[in-house]
Amino acid sequence: MRYETRVLLDGLGPVEAPRWHDSRLWFSDFGARKVMTVDLKGKAETVVEVPQQPSGLGWLPDGRLLVVSMRDRRLLRLDSNGLSEVVDLSRLALHPCNDMVVDSQGRAYIGHFGFDFWGRQPFAPAGLILVTPDGNARVVADDMAFPNGTVITPDGRTLIVGETYAARLTAFELGLDGSLGGRRIWAQLEGATTDGICLDAEGAVWVASPISPEVLRVREGGEVTHRIAVSTAALACMLGGPERRTLFIMAVIGDGGRIEVTDVDVPGAGLP
């Protein structure tokens, strides 16, 4: 089936970390250094400014927003009086932090670059960092090729993360204490790469592939069932809307970005 996208919101900076929450799409405009929302009519609002560039977003069980601050490598929380630090991750991440998923207990899993990407330094592996609600942080998976978009299955038992520089999706079993085990390759991609991802109700993963440029739906084992071409590089995607059948695609255009949307058949599931 061929899906046609339409532009929901234009004139943004590079945009990442789309999340459907409270009947709106939340996202990070790290060019403008803002966390923003947009509704299905295209009305946008700024939630908070993050001076060191926002990336991954998620919510604690009490409804407070968590934000990854990329360049200073901190996890922040939005309280009634503004942003406050949950934990400084600089001892665990030497280079910018990236995407994040927050589980139902408020535990955050955060990826980071592993090397100076913007300085065009040689690739180096990175880890996936777990931050518990009390602010304790530790590495729960290492030797990863740029851990990026991350999802958790509806039963809370499996975490899937995109390793951008390996063009693959990697799965872990989630332990009761938040630890990760049983590491396995969930899907290896050819001619594409893995940036932001989201999960649907049939257990397939939608993958934003900047190099293609497209968003593709992948089953465990690597079968690609759908491909949606976008006009430029796709950085992330999210299933949302009233029935979670609207696919939001975060696209980069030069130094700017926009949000494209299309409707799909299988609704979203799991986290984020």
| Domain assignments of the chain as residue spans, ordered by start | 6-263
Q: Give the CA dihedral 190, 192, 71, 83, nearest 10 degrees.
A: -110
Third-level CATH fold of 6-263: Neuraminidase (2.120.10)
- The pLDDT of residue 1 is 61
Q: Whose CA is closest to 143, among 165, 121, 159?
A: 165
pLDDT in tens, 199-241: 999 999 999 999 988 999 999 999 999 999 987 899 999 999 9
> What is the reported pTM?
0.96
Q: Is the pLDDT of residue 125 over 90?
A: yes
Contact assessment for residue 199 and residue 153, using Cβ atoms and an 8 Å cutoff: yes
Kindly state the average pLDDT of the residues 262-271. Answer: 97
Terminal-residue alpha carbon distance, the chain: 26
- Confidence class for position 118, pLDDT limits 50, 70, 90: confident
DSSP code per residue over 108-134:
EEEEE-SS-TTTTPPP--EEEEEE-TT
Which residue has tokens 């991954």?
A: 56
